[in-house]
A and B are shown apart, each in its own frame.
Chain A
Amino acid sequence: MTAHDPSLARPNTPVTTYRYDEFDAAFVRERVAEFREQVRRRLEGSLTEDEFRPFRLMNGLYLQLHAYMLRVAIPYGTLTARQMRRLADIADKYDRGYGHFTTRQNLQYNWPKLIDTPDILEALAEVEMHAIQTSGNCIRNVTADHFSGVAPDEIEDPRATAEFLRQWSSAHPEFSFLPRKFKIAVTGSEHDRAAIMVHDVGLRIMTNAAGDVGYQVVVGGGLGRTPFVGKVLRDYLPRADLLAYLEAVMRVYNRFGRRDNKYKARIKILVHEKGIEEVRAAIEAEFVAMDRGVFSYDPTEFERIAAFFTPPPYEALPAESAKLRAERVAHPAFGNFVEVNAAPHRVPGYAIVTVSLKPIGGIPGDATSQQMRVLAEASERFGFGELRISHEQNVILPHVKQDDLFDLWKLLDGAGLATANAGLVSDIISCPGLDYCALATARSIPIAQAISKRFSDLSRQRRIGKLGIKISGCINACGHHHVGAIGILGLEKKGQESYQITLGGDPTFSASIGEILGPGVTAEQVPDVIEHIVDFYLAERQEGETFIETWRRIGHARFKDVLRREGEDGADI
């Protein structure tokens, strides 16, 4: 199958997403058939749970607090209208009419029945989707910048690299049983929207002095029990070496990663314990010694993949739409939506639209099947049938004509999808926490809802400006709380839910891990504490300063101090 063979084009198939080749399709179908057989044997009793568990995890199926949970991969967050519709249909037919978009650009169904999961996987396979490697100690779904291909500051679309890596890592025999899961993120821009500094491996596309495109390789970042910002492993890696070099990284990790202790098994611990120099030396030695022939770079293959991500047929338009300007003035609510949720596009006359899945008081990341269908429709009418899932748990329409923004807004508004809060305090990342997750130590969604309601006034939110609040329901940090400008971690203290607050986290190239503000607070106190922090920031900030900039300038102690005064002796905070 080639990139743009018109005979293979389906109606409404965007030209800017990767399509499976015969190998992928056959592989996924075989996996589904295999899993169907495994489920049958499990239900009939010839497989025990211990025998079955690795099989179900290989297919993204977990057992949660109230039901099973199926995690579907959305490679590098890109999906088509057709795929989105299929996700909606599955939600209706096999689940309870909704899905949850996650920080790893996946979708989770919260209520599938074991017996239905092979049918769900088959329904996904029909639209070139699957749940492989969304769980287990393997290389997980490769994530990428959700503005890929449209960001004005982009050097190269990172999805070609991500897809290249997906093909290399999928069912890689040597890396199916790593010491622990392994997460790779890729960005191709000057601004990092993929949080590459807090991944096991982060790749930053860049050019060298000669103008060749290659990668800065960052290793050993990660959140969870022991959070670390990654370290630069290679300043510049030529593209030709990408697969071989990553193979060397994985081999060294596979060999030296600590399998004796699950809490120390991630590559970040290896980097921390041995030091980046020693790890680098081992990787470079492996890289030199290995048979690189098997991984030799085939530029035509990379070009073939990259061709899937070529731009859609944009129209030639003026940079700014007069129609849009007039509509913004005439409809202030729409004007605010454009100001907050539309981002500049690399092509004149277009915009990138972030559709917030964080309505005031809503459950972050949840979308009903009806909303998924509206999003599919929106992408077809206003965006070449393409959508993205962001690690902030929102949906992106990457190619909207400025002239169409008003009609798009009306469509979204009718479905409860037009909240103008992208990047603002109520655009909260939250993991499912104890409302769903078997590992949770406290709830996180109700905390997000309470904060969102407290700051329900959107004009106040705009005055506060960009501010990332991130919440996790346990130390595993699925909600990225360590890199929230304000992070909230749910813990258990004396049989009660308790919340620890951190400040100063940053997921971008200037990454930092948040610092703890003080002792934990109760669920009821969280909105007050957040409000005090925000008010203090507003009082202290200088013109144009973001929260993190103010925090860095005046220091953590000042924030701690003011809250100690608010809480009298600080005992509550």
Chain B
Amino acid sequence: MSALKHPQILLASDLADGEVLFLGAEGWERDHRRARVARDKEEAAVLEGVGKAEIAKNRVVDVYLADVDVGADGAPTPLHYREKMRLKGPSVRPDLGKQAKGAA
């Protein structure tokens, strides 16, 4: 098992509406807290493999891994402010994006 500097999750955009998705245990999730966390390089490669297959099936686009911090409750939060922004919505419009639906 080769170690990762940080655990990772897989993000993507939904092909139909562009919304941010997170790969979970059972497929794509709209809530990042349900994202599947890769703790080593092999697991990360598995996530990426699923991502590639999903791109080929034309369900998602723009798939990539992002570093996360895993909280005491086991829910991952991205480390970089860019992805932090992506799991909420525009910081200047709290009424829009995922935050408006109470996901973040």
Contacts and interface: CB of A to CB of B under 8 A. Distances in A.
A434 B1 CA distance: 36
Interface string B39-63: 0000000000000000101100110
Interface string A98-129: 00000000000011011100000000000000
Nearest to A363: B92
B18 interface: yes
Interface in A75-96: 96
Nearest to B17: A113
Contact of B13 (A63, A110, A446): A63
B97 interface: yes
A6 interface: no
Contact of A115 (B16, B81, B90): B16
B92 A66 contact: no
Interface residues of B, number: 26
Contact of A436 (B16, B61, B90): B90
A371 interface: no
Chain A residues touching B, range:
20 to 34
Given A42-B58, A49-B61, A66 B16 contact: no
Interface in B1-40: 13, 15-20
A65 interface: yes
A355 interface: no
Does more than half of chain B's interface fall in helix, strand or loop, or is it mixed? loop
Contacts of A496: 81
Interface string A38-78: 00001101001100000000000001111110000000000
A45 B57 contact: yes
B101 interface: no
Contact of B92 (A42, A64, A445): A445
Given A42-B58, A45-B57, A495-B80, A68 B18 contact: yes
Interface in B75-92: 79-82, 85-86, 89-92
A496 B84 CA distance: 12
Contacts of B19: 66-67
B103 interface: no
B90 A114 contact: no
B6 to A, nearest CB: 12
A495 B58 CA distance: 33
A434 B18 contact: no
Contact of B91 (A42, A63, A68, A446): A446
A154 interface: no
A403 B89 CA distance: 45
A443 interface: yes
B70 to A, nearest CB: 18
A434 B61 contact: no
A545 interface: no
A286 interface: no
A189 interface: no
Contacts of B57: 45
A114 B80 contact: no
Contacts of A440: 82
A43 B85 contact: no
Nearest to A440: B82
A306 B15 CA distance: 44
A497 B62 CA distance: 23
Contact of A497 (B17, B81, B90, B98): B81
Contacts of A394: none
Nearest to A96: B96
B16 A435 contact: no
Nearest to A44: B58
A337 B35 CA distance: 52
Interface string A466-499: 0000000000000000000000000000011100
A67 B93 CA distance: 14
B86 A65 contact: yes
B18 A113 contact: yes
Contacts of B85: 65, 434-435, 443
Contact of A43 (B15, B55, B93): B15
B40 to A, nearest CB: 23
A114 B92 contact: no
Given A67-B18, A111-B96, A497-B81, A435 B55 contact: no
A431 to B, nearest CB: 13
Contact of A443 (B79, B80, B91, B96): B91
Given A48-B58, A49-B55, A443-B91, A43 B86 contact: no
Contacts of B93: 363, 435
B90 A435 contact: yes
Contact of A68 (B17, B86, B90): B17
A380 to B, nearest CB: 30
B103 to A, nearest CB: 12
A68 B18 CA distance: 5
Contact of A114 (B18, B55, B86): B18
A63 B92 contact: no
Contact of B16 (A49, A65, A113, A434): A113
Contacts of B91: 435, 443, 446
17 contacts: A45-B58, A49-B15, A63-B61, A66-B19, A66-B98, A67-B19, A68-B18, A110-B90, A115-B16, A363-B93, A435-B85, A435-B93, A436-B90, A445-B90, A446-B92, A495-B79, A495-B81
Interface of B: 13, 15-20, 55, 57-58, 61-62, 79-82, 85-86, 89-93, 96-98
Per CB-CB distance, the 3 closest pairs between chain A and chain B, nearest first, are A67-B18, A435-B90, A68-B18
